[in-house]
Copies of this chain bind each other. A is one copy, B any other.
Amino acid sequence: MSRFLSQEAACLAPYTPGEQPQDQQYIKLNTNESPFPPSPKVLKTISRAELMKLDLYPDPTCGPLRRAIADYYGLRPENVLAGNGSDEVLAFAFRAFCGKGKGVAYADITYGFYRSQAAFFGLEPAIVPLREDLTLDVGDYMEFSGTIVLANPNAPTGIALPRTDIQRLLDADPDRLVIVDEAYVDFGAESCAPLLFRYDNLLVVQTMSKSRSLAGGRLGFALGSPSLIEDMERVRYSFNPYDVDRLAMMAGAAAMEDRSYFDACCASIRQTRAWTVGALEALGFTVLPSQANFIFAKSGQIPGGELYRLLKENGILVRWFDQERIRDYVRITIGSMEQMEALVDQVDQILQAW
Contact = CB atoms under 8 A, between A and B. Distances in A.
Contact of A57 (B16, B36, B215): B215
Interface in A3-44: 3-9, 12-17, 20, 22, 28, 31, 33-38, 42-43
A38 to B, nearest CB: 5
Given A2-B230, A4-B231, A52-B43, A9 B95 contact: yes
A247 B216 contact: yes
Contacts of A238: 12-15, 116-117, 119-120
A22 B65 CA distance: 13
Q: Interface size for chain A: under 10, 10 to 19, 20 to 34, or 35 or more residues?
A: 35 or more
Interface string A179-221: 0000000000000000000001100000001000111111000
A99 interface: yes
Contact of A214 (B31, B55, B240): B55
A59 interface: yes
- Pick from A5, A95, A216 the residue with the most CB of B within 10 Å: A216
A291 B7 CA distance: 37
A91 interface: yes
A234 interface: yes
A280 to B, nearest CB: 24
A139 interface: no
A16 B61 CA distance: 12
A217 B60 contact: no
A234 B12 contact: yes
A72 interface: no
B4 A97 contact: yes
Q: Assembly of this chain: how many copies?
A: 2
Contact of A84 (B84, B98, B225): B84
A345 interface: no
A147 B4 CA distance: 9
Given A12-B234, A99-B9, A241-B17, A215 B56 contact: yes
Contacts of A264: none
Q: Most chain-B Cβ atoms within 10 A of its Cβ — which of A99, A238, A244?
A: A238
Contact of A96 (B6, B17, B31, B177): B6
Contacts of A88: 239-240, 243
B58 A216 contact: yes
6 contacts: A2-B227, A6-B100, A17-B241, A54-B216, A87-B241, A87-B242
Interface of A: 1-9, 12-17, 20, 22, 28, 31, 33-38, 42-43, 46, 48, 51-61, 63, 84-85, 87-88, 91, 95-102, 116-117, 119-121, 147, 175, 177, 200-201, 209, 213-218, 225, 227-228, 230-231, 233-235, 237-248, 251
